[in-house]
């Protein structure tokens, strides 16, 4: 274990991927720098997963109804704060960290600093190819920072392997649970990064076993729909004057309408565009 003042909870959001979830939890237990606690938020329907979790004495399990990734991570991060952890390391249940992933995050010069809002691992697919990894804050400085300390300053990240500073959450708010699915991770991490520094140590690696095929016309329609609504609605919570927010919302609306015209998105996305523009007003909530 590390410095108790830098206590780390690994947070697993689980739904139905039993085998991958077990691999993930085994990998968390086997970290060269182990987390101080593993919290599992289970919001799936399977009794066999719930029964297995109940037999794992070293896990702190929270069971709740399906609130999507947004609601699940919101609940989990708030639980981590209630349990006194300084950092929360977040995972979907289809992502498995390499053995030194947390050690590399802790070794980053930004770890433990008051103005570091989060650290994020480099993500690779099942074939070892880097993807979904945080984008550099300044691409022009990328090479210099990597050569100096193997870290890149970044401006946002997805949920896989984000080590979030609890103090930053208290100051700048929780993930927006109302988003349910999609875009809440980017909104949350970019919001934190606007108020401090965030880094990706490139030697901290997580394998994401995500389905490589995304079909908005088929089984992924609902994800595409939520992503559309939420990206438009993000304009309402991002900084700027009212005219700037309106213009941002309209630009995003036009972008999604053009995808439909170009047959890259289904026509049935239109109501979700309207919701994002007119009827969906997300709000940032702060921990109790």
Instruction: Give the mean model confidence (pLDDT) for residues 4-12.
Output: 92
Q: What percent of the chain has pLDDT over 90?
A: 90
Domain with CATH 3.90.550.60 in the chain: 4-208
Span 4-208: which CATH code? 3.90.550.60
**What value, to the nearest 5°, has the Cα angle with vertex 141 and ends 120 and 167?**
35
- What pLDDT sits at residue 2? 47
pTM equals 0.95
Q: Does 146 have pLDDT greater than 80?
A: yes
- What pLDDT sits at residue 140? 73
For 236-267, the pLDDT digits (tens) are 999 999 999 999 999 999 999 999 999 999 99
Using 50, 70 and 90 to split pLDDT, how confident is the model at 214? confident
Using 50, 70 and 90 to split pLDDT, how confident is the model at 3? low
- What pLDDT sits at residue 4? 66
Q: What percent of the chain has pLDDT over 70?
A: 99
Distances (CA, A) of 119 to 16, 53, 110, 192: 27, 28, 8, 11
Give the position of tokens 């609306």: 253
């Amino acid at each position: 274990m590390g410095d108790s003042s830098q206590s780390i909870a690994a947070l697993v959001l689980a739904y139905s991927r039993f085998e991958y979830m077990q691999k993930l939890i085994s990998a968390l237990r086997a970290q060269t720098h182990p987390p101080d606690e593993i919290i599992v938020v289970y919001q799936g329907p399977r009794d066999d997963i719930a029964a297995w979790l109940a037999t794992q004495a070293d896990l702190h399990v929270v069971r709740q109804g399906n609130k999507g990734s947004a609601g699940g991570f919101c609940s989990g991060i708030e639980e981590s704060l209630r349990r006194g952890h300084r950092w929360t390391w977040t995972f979907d249940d289809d992502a498995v960290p390499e053995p030194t992933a947390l050690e590399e995050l802790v070794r980053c010069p930004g770890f433990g600093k008051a103005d570091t809002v989060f650290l994020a691992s480099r993500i690779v697919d099942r074939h070892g190819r880097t993807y979904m990894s945080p984008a550099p804050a300044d691409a022009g400085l990328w090479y210099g920072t990597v050569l100096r300390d193997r870290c890149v300053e970044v401006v946002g990240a997805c949920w896989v392997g984000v080590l979030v500073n609890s103090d930053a959450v208290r100051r700048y708010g929780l993930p927006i649970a109302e988003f349910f699915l999609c875009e809440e991770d980017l909104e949350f991490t970019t919001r934190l990064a606007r108020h401090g520094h965030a880094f990706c140590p490139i030697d901290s690696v997580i394998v994401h076993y995500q389905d490589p095929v995304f079909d908005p016309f088929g089984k992924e329609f609902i994800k595409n729909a939520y992503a559309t609504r939420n990206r438009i609605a993000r304009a309402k919570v991002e900084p700027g004057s009212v005219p700037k927010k309106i213009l941002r919302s309209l630009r995003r609306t036009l972008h999604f309408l053009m995808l439909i015209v170009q047959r890259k998105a289904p026509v049935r996305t239109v109501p979700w565009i309207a919701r994002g523009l007119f009827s969906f007003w997300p709000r940032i909530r702060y921990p109790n």
